[in-house]
């Protein structure tokens, strides 16, 4: 099992550019989560999907952020346009229906300059 796979590992972009983060959950897991980690705010849940359907996006900071899950094996988090305050580590996690624990990916470190 390769675990939750995120790409890219690092992303440096200029303010105003579009950024797309990608996640492949563990096969068979039916829930997927996007978290953001910063020193100031800690770990924040942005959005989660259950069976590919967005259930709660109340943590998405603003309209510049959007997330999709077109199928059970792929999700994207897009920021358009990006701003320096979006700089953070973004984690994807998946969970199966039989265990309360999550499996996290290694994260994408985003730097917006």
Q: Which residues are near another protein by CB under 8 A?
A: 4, 31, 33, 42-43, 45, 48, 50, 55-56, 91, 93, 95, 100-107
CB-based burial, 5-17: b 16+ in 10 Å, e otherwise = ebeeeebebeeee
Q: Compute the C-alpha angle 99/105/106, nearest 5°.
A: 145
CB-based burial, 45-63: b 16+ in 10 Å, e otherwise = bbbbbeebeeeeeeebeee
Residue with smaller CB distance to another protein, 47 or 79: 47
Residue with smaller CB distance to another protein, 81 or 102: 102
Residue with smaller CB distance to another protein, 66 or 103: 103
Q: Six-digit token pair at 113?
A: 């300059």
Q: Residue 39 Cβ, how far from another protein at the closest point, in Å?
A: 10
> Whose CA is closest to 66, among 86, 38, 41?
86
Q: Residue 15 Cβ, how far from another protein at the closest point, in Å?
A: 25
For residue 86, the SS3 value is helix
Q: Residue 102 Cβ, how far from another protein at the closest point, in Å?
A: 6
Residue with smaller CB distance to another protein, 74 or 102: 102
Q: Residue 54 Cβ, how far from another protein at the closest point, in Å?
A: 12
């Amino acid at each position: 099992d390769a675990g939750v796979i995120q790409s890219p590992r690092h992303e440096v972009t200029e303010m105003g550019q579009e950024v797309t983060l990608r996640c492949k959950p563990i096969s068979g897991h039916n829930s997927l989560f996007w978290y953001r980690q910063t020193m100031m705010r800690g770990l924040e849940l942005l959005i989660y999907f259950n069976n590919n359907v967005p259930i709660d996006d109340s943590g998405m900071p603003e309209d510049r952020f959007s997330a999709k899950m077109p199928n059970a094996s792929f999700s994207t988090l897009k920021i358009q346009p990006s701003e320096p305050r979006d700089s953070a580590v973004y984690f994807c996690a998946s969970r199966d229906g039989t265990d309360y624990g999550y499996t996290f990916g290694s994260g994408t470190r985003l730097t917006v300059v």
